[in-house]
Structure 1
Amino acid sequence: MLPDRNPFCASRHGARTLCTLLGLALLLTACQSLRRVSRELPSTPLTIDAPIGWGTRSKLVALGEDTPRCLALLDAASVRHDVLPPVRQDQCGYADGVRLGRGGALPVTFHPGGPAVACPVAVALVIWQRQIVQPAAQRHFGRAVTGIDHYGSFACRRINGRSTGDFSEHSTARAIDIAGFRLAGGSTVTVRRDWNGAPARAAFLREVRDGGCRLFSTVLSPDFNASHADHLHLDHARRGLGGYCR
């Protein structure tokens, strides 16, 4: 007959097993954290499908210095787009314009038509509609966004339409004004009507505004001033590491 197992040895064996499991769990957590951090490093290439993090916005702005890389991102994500010829108008213009089209990996339609935007803005809009707008629509309405209404992008003008002062980001197609969203089934959500409207609609608009602040340097809403009572202004102004969200 075998002697009974020494309870002291058994407890020590159990402790070793527990410590091993805890160590493995901590190692796994550390590895996952390192992977998340590595995605945020400036040296880590941006991808459209990567989760939005603290470094995403600066990487999007930096794409303005690398148009081939920017266009390659749209191609790699199967986003249908047309490359536009350079535009020069007085002190305004762009050399990296694209027009997003419905189809491929971008199921929304822009109204009226795809706006002419600088390539980094196009990439940011794709990420925004995929990772911010569509999830928010499902949470608040239980359906998808099929269209985005806008007031355009490129416009050769100064900030707030003044006759003097700095030119607007619209003057280089690095900005776009979003007026509203069309939902599957036919209903719409507009900034003018719904910013202070029904709770679900107002919450949706604030969620997509706040999400845009993680991707664009400047995001202005009706909370900023009366000039933005009917749209969300999104742009890629060069602000260093910071941004402005209101």
Structure 2
Amino acid sequence: MIAAIMSGYAIHSGRVKVPPKWNPFAPLDVREPPGPLTAIKLWRTTRDPATCAAALETSGLTYRPVADSSAPAGCELKDAVRVTHSDAGYGGPFIASCPLAIGMALFERQYLRPAAGEFFGQGVKRIDHVGSYACRNVNNSPNNRQDGRLSQHASANAIDLTGFVLEDGRRITLARWDEGSADAAFLRRVHEGACRVFNTTLGPDYNALHRTHFHVDMGPYRMCR
């Protein structure tokens, strides 16, 4: 234990040089294949704004900063960005917390695109969604602290994904979840990948409210349903 602590201190202080891939204190690079330190780096990214900002710079996302803001209801945007494009593209721009933006970049590069290649032999042209930021509670009621706890959407820390468009223009939606087809197998593989990246992933098997989308967020609770 003492040796591990001393090694960690030496790496963190820069006294011992190791490649970024093997340095747990280096920013996450979503372009690197997942490794034993990916989960640790992702965890640090969600908790340290400077580390997250550094990871964004190499994420491949096209984005611009969004001014910090807060609402009387408790909804808050802090260190958020407006994401407009990635290698795959999106059905529309969306506002995201820095951790959510990193999560989307990692999910796309390491899980979504490989799944499309495996099942269909092609890449993903577009990720469709129905929004990220919404000042509301978990139960989807108008925001009121007395009605329940705030949704992760209230801080742009969540996004709802409705489908994926392949390079040949074919669109795969969550309506095909239970078909027993290649589309359904693809969607289930994508769901598995999302569970590896996001703290919470909720899909059609969770409840009726999620029959048409994957809810993914970088909130404090771990759940894969």
Structure 1: 5+ residue stretches without partners: 1-34
Contact (CA 8 Å) 1:67, 1:96: kept in 2 or not? yes
Matches within 5 A, 1:1-246: 39=22, 43=25, 45-53=27-35, 56-57=38-39, 59-90=41-72, 91-102=74-85, 106-111=86-91, 113-162=92-141, 164-191=147-174, 193-239=175-221, 243-246=222-225
Q: Find the aligned partners of 1:54 and 1:244 in 2 and give their Cα distance.
A: 21
Cα distance 1:52–1:84, how it changes in 2: closer, same or farther (>3 A)?
Answer: same
Distance 1:54 1:155 in 2: 35
Question: % of aligned pairs identical?
Answer: 36
Q: Which amino acid counterpart does residue 147 of structure 1 have in structure 2?
A: R
Compute the displacement of 1:205 (Å).
0.6
TM-score by length of 1: 0.75
**Residues 162-171 or 212-221, more deviating:** 162-171
Distance in 2, Cα, partners of 1:121 & 1:147: 18
Q: In structure 1, give the amino acid aligned to 2:114.
A: P
Q: Is the 8 A contact 1:61 1:236 kept in 2?
A: no
1:116-149 Cα shifts (integer Å, max 9, x gaps): 0101111111111111001100111111110011
Q: Secondary structure of the residue that 2:139 maps to in structure 1?
A: helix
What secondary structure does 2:196 align onto? coil
Which structure: larger Rg? 1
Which residue identity is paired with 2:217?
A: D
Give aligned pairs, total. Answer: 201
